[in-house]
Amino acid sequence: MEDDAIVLNSLETGESDLIITLFCYNAGRISAIARGARNSKKRFVNKLEIFTRLHVDFKQKFSSSLAFLNEAELNNIYPFLRTNYPAYLAGNVIRELLLHSIRDAESDSNLFRLTLWALYQLDMRMAPRTVVALFFLRSFDLLGYRPELSCCTRCGAPASSRPVRFDLHSGGLICEVCNGGPLHPPLSGGSLNMLNMAQSMALEHLDRLKPNSLVINESLRLLYGFARHILQRDINSWNVFSAVMSKSR
Ligand SMILES: [Zn+2]
């Protein structure tokens, strides 16, 4: 079977083999064994590292069984993403979100496209925090958890009409009135605007968004909180990513 794929994980096994986790355009998430990958001189050399984009040929008996990798052709190694520390850390956060949220053999071509978009933008030197925020927001949508960011989820009042906050449990906004008192602090208009635009823009235009530092900090806090709520777990690579990013500002 031939497919386009992104390497999400790579694990050494046996004498010279690798087991890689691939996110495939058609086949979804699969695990594949690459025999002799660690000593092969040409077949797989340097191709099976995390984040590489490949065209693969594999054999698989059942959709959830371990596949056997026959060939891998490099499509993009994302050289800047691989060598720039903040970009690499951002890529890791994205990779971990994917590893926790996509299941074996469930294809999701839109999420695949979004992932390619994120890796490409990191490689093109888009601000890593912006890439992570936009990836998170759009992936929630594709995973079936689109946050409601235009009006209060309880009374329906438009978010532009009164102060609002984000509520994890309803996955959307709660207004000051439904909250039963003032909000400390309410979500800023700048973040609301940016998030609403990012939800509705075509993917190929998303790189036009250039949110400022305040907006991106507030948005990332909200989005990471929601990601933890959805996944019911931490994203381990988050701490080092946010620590390095807060120092580099
Ligand atoms: Zn309300």
Q: Side chain identity at 83, as an amino acid letter?
A: T
State percent of the chain over pLDDT 70: 99
Question: Do 127 and 202 fall within a single domain?
Answer: yes
CA–CA separation, 118 and 116 (whole Å): 5
Residue 105 in any domain: the answer is yes
Task: Kindly indicate the confidence band of residue 27, based on its pLDDT and cuts at 50, 70 and 90.
Answer: very high
Compute the distance from residue 176 Cα to the ligand 1 centre, in Å: 7
Residue 175 in any domain: the answer is no
Compute the distance from residue 158 Cα to the ligand 1 centre, in Å: 9
Mean confidence (pLDDT) of the chain: 94
Question: Do 143 and 242 fall within a single domain?
Answer: yes
Question: Do 117 and 209 fall within a single domain?
Answer: yes
Structure tokens at 141: 């949508």
Residue 159 in any domain: the answer is no
Compute the distance from residue 168 Cα to the ligand 1 centre, in Å: 15
Compute the distance from residue 97 Cα to the ligand 1 centre, in Å: 31
CA–CA separation, 159 and 168 (whole Å): 16
Count Cβ atoms within 10 A of the Cβ of residue 191 and give its class: 0-12 exposed, 13-18 middle, 19 or more buried. Answer: buried
Residue 27 in any domain: the answer is yes
Count Cβ atoms within 10 A of the Cβ of residue 204 and give its class: 0-12 exposed, 13-18 middle, 19 or more buried. Answer: exposed
Compute the distance from residue 159 Cα to the ligand 1 centre, in Å: 9
Residue 192 in any domain: the answer is yes
Domain count, the chain: 2
The whole-angstrom distance between residue 30's C-alpha and the CA centroid of its chain comes to 17
Compute the distance from residue 155 Cα to the ligand 1 centre, in Å: 4
Compute the distance from residue 200 Cα to the ligand 1 centre, in Å: 23
Compute the distance from residue 156 Cα to the ligand 1 centre, in Å: 6
Question: Do 73 and 196 fall within a single domain?
Answer: no
Per-residue model confidence (pLDDT) at position 37 = 86
pTM: 0.95
Q: Side chain identity at 167, as an amino acid letter?
A: D
Per-residue model confidence (pLDDT) at position 15 = 87
Per-residue model confidence (pLDDT) at position 36 = 87
Compute the distance from residue 221 Cα to the ligand 1 centre, in Å: 22
pLDDT of 66 > 90? The answer is: yes
Compute the distance from residue 74 Cα to the ligand 1 centre, in Å: 51
Compute the distance from residue 105 Cα to the ligand 1 centre, in Å: 40
CA–CA separation, 199 and 147 (whole Å): 9
Q: Which of these ranges, 11-15, 71-75, 166-170, 196-200, has the smallest mean pLDDT?
A: 11-15
Question: Do 20 and 143 fall within a single domain?
Answer: no
Question: Do 13 and 117 fall within a single domain?
Answer: no
Compute the distance from residue 166 Cα to the ligand 1 centre, in Å: 12
In which domain, by residue range, is 52 found?
A: 2-77
∠51-235-117 over CA atoms, to 5°? 35
Question: Do 143 and 215 fall within a single domain?
Answer: yes
Residue 99 in any domain: the answer is yes
Structure tokens at 201: 């823009």
pLDDT of 43 > 90? The answer is: no
Mean pLDDT of 77-98: 97
pLDDT of 4 > 90? The answer is: yes
Question: Do 37 and 141 fall within a single domain?
Answer: no
